[in-house]
Amino acid sequence: MKTRSITEVAKEFLGTDLPKDGVICDFTMGGGHDTLYLSDLVPEGKVYAFDIQPLALERTSRRLEEAGGRSNVELILDSHENFDRYVTGGFDAGMFNLGYLPTSDHVVTTKAETTLAAVTKAVEQVKVGGTVVVVVYPGHPEGKREGEMLLEFAASLSDKKFDATYYRLVNIPDCPFILAFQKRK
Ligand code: SAM
């Protein structure tokens, strides 16, 4: 069996049976791989994709065009903790794929404080039954801080309201891991 990448596993936490007219947030657009995948989960709905780097919007827009175009995607140049300025009616699922834009100069990375603010707000605002999934890369210093803060946040959530899942390989130190937050019905 082919080994699945950490982002493939993360997407499995979102499921494939979202409402066709649902709303999904891609909180870290990057090169648009995740945006493209998410757009196909809600063909009659909408994906709001966020990034703070114009390069990410350029890459994603090109990727979507090369895939034939996607009219259900809005690309937004803004930080993810501001997502509720654009997404006002709640959303069905959300994905954070933290860290650096691959093959960029690695100057811009997600930051622990803003990530925690955005994840906290996303978990509050996701619809009942919906999931917010986060891929964390603790192999660099800021990613390690992000991971520690997010794990503490996840452990603090009420089990009456959320299933908070921690998924990782236990035999590789500092390997990427997943936190998935599902709001209970
Ligand atoms: N999802 C992407 C894909 O499919 O290619 C990969 C995302 S990449 C690992 C992380 C991205 O998060 C980078 O493009 C970076 O610019 C972006 N980022 C960093 N800080 C951010 C913030 N505050 N709000 C939104 N995006 C941010």
DSSP 49-118: EEES-HHHHHHHHHHHHHTT--TTEEEEES-GGGGGGT--S-EEEEEEE-SBPTTS-S--B--HHHHHHH
Residue 152 confidence (pLDDT): 98
Residue 117 confidence (pLDDT): 98
Q: Which residue's alpha carbon is nearest to atom 21 within ligand 1? A: 110
Residue 2 confidence (pLDDT): 76
Segment 48-59, tens digit of pLDDT: 999 999 999 999
Going from the Cα of 68 to the center of ligand 1, the distance in angstroms, rounded, reads 23
pLDDT of 107 strictly over 90: no
Going from the Cα of 30 to the center of ligand 1, the distance in angstroms, rounded, reads 5
Q: pTM for this structure?
A: 0.97
Please indicate whether residue 101, judged by its CB atom, sits closer than 6 Å to ligand 1: yes
Please indicate whether residue 31, judged by its CB atom, sits closer than 6 Å to ligand 1: yes
Average pLDDT over residues 23-38: 98
